[in-house]
Amino acid sequence: MRVEAGLFREPGERTLPRDLLVPVARTRGRPRAEYRPRVRTAQDVETLRELGVPARLVTSEWVTDQGYPVQFRPWLAVPEGLSGKIATEFRLLPVRDPDLLRAPGVEELVTLLLRFDPLAARVVARRNRAALDPWELYRRVRNEGLERAATRVRLQDLAPAIPAVGEALPREELRWLEKNNPSGEPAQ
């Protein structure tokens, strides 16, 4: 599979799972069949990933494993071009850079969290400071255009190369939030 603001089967690929990828009605003269993913479970997301489709399920377990115990409904992160073409019950989290979804790391999680919970992104980044690559975090934040959200929670403290855009929360408020958030063991 390859992503072209849609999913198209390559010549010679194995048969597709019919319960996961359903064909879109073909228009006259269209040479290739387009498929629409139907994602209902975490296993469906893994099957999509095995087929080469960049997708990632952002779960509270993943965030908890990184040292910040929290509970929320999962988000399905997919490339922007596919966000309108996926049938799912999960909340969608469109991302600009599909590479963000290929390798799960602290930087990727922090970048995804910046989209819907910037304070959790800061806490995860601080609690995993030893494993965090500041240049990779800078690259991810810039690729996604999240400089304003990163500035709001002062991620420049951890990745100084991130440009400051907009206003930041006062340091005292951030210290209070970090101190009064549930603690967890940082991931090793």
pTM for the structure as a whole: 0.80
Looking at the 3D structure of the chain, how many domains does it have? 1
The Cα-based distances of 103 to 25, 180, 182 in angstroms read 33, 31, 27
- Residues forming beta bridges with residue 36, ordered by sequence position: 22
> Residue 158: what pLDDT?
94
Kindly calculate the radius of gyration of the chain based on its CA atoms and give it in whole angstroms: 19
Q: 161: which 2 tokens? A: 């190369």
> Residue 180: what pLDDT?
78
Greatest alpha-carbon pair distance for the chain in Å reads 63
Q: Is residue 185 part of a domain?
A: no
Q: Is residue 188 part of a domain?
A: no
pLDDT digits (tens, 9 = 90+) for 120-151: 999 999 999 999 999 999 999 999 999 999 99
Split at pLDDT 50, 70, 90, the class of 90 is very high
Residue 85 has pLDDT above 70, yes or no: yes
HSE (side-chain half, CA atoms, 13 Å) at 43: 3
CA distance 136 to 51: 26
Q: Is residue 45 part of a domain?
A: yes
Q: Is residue 13 part of a domain?
A: yes
> Residue 114: what pLDDT?
96
